[in-house]
Structure 1
Amino acid sequence: MSKSVAPRKCSVADTLDLVGDRWSLLVVRELSHGVHRFDRIVRNTGASRDVLTARLRRLEAVGIIRRRLYNEHPPRYEYRLTSAGWELCDVLLTLMRWGDRHLNPDDPPLRYQHSCGEVLDPVVVCAHCGGPAVRGAHSPSGPALADDRCS
């Protein structure tokens, strides 16, 4: 008899359930670039109108974006990131860094300039000591480890 194994409980998995598809993350990208209206989001992401409508509704329902009516007849909305949505932009920057290094090392399609004037090279650091979160510098601990959960 085969024993059933439950998947590991993890915030990564929970987050991917909410935003782990291409279109959701591209919506966040567009909103972070100042694109707030449906037609431009469709054009810049390549998503079909039906898919985009579904993603916008889902992102709004979970508090990542909010919509605001800007035209009553016909009703038209614009979309803005919430504070939770803006936090996802950090994830997008690290995904972009990975893609630039591993998919487009010779010619990244888009570069960001930091307010210091230099090209932005995002890294994940420890909020306590400022050290980079690189392989070997972190490990699971506490209750998450005790019940085989990641955080």
Structure 2
Amino acid sequence: MICRTAALAALLAGAASAQTDFTSLTPEERAAFHGELRAVLLAHPEIVRNALAPAPYADEIAKDKAIIARHSEALFGTHDFAFIGPPGDALEELAALGAEHGLSFARHRLSDLPALAAALDLTEPPFYIFRDVIYRGAMPAIVLERELSRMAGER
């Protein structure tokens, strides 16, 4: 097994160092590569299992996105994203960052959206709700900056 893994590594290393295009391998090289790759995958089926496994929390993420989509009109209206929480530093920071990116947000109190709060188990604000993700709790500016930059770039 070690010999096969070493052979595969050598083949890949040789190809990489020579900047070989795997689509232009000779029939013999292609057969050797396929044979070694097959042997490694048969010896280590977890490689394929891990590659095919769903992302952690994929079901929960999909459920949250569907709930956000159902409540999007109440949440966002004509705005780009929403903030649920009290006045304070988080709100002020978000307002400044949103303005820097030319994005606007709807501000809500938790009591404004009881159905959404129940569906998403929103209990302790603040919450930053974007069309495809929810951030729970106070977020560092760098996290918000990354999200707002992504949104502004999608416009």
Per the normalisation by structure 1, the TM-score is 0.27
Greater fraction helix = 2
For normalisation by structure 2, the TM-score amounts to 0.27
Instruction: Name the larger-Rg structure.
Output: 2
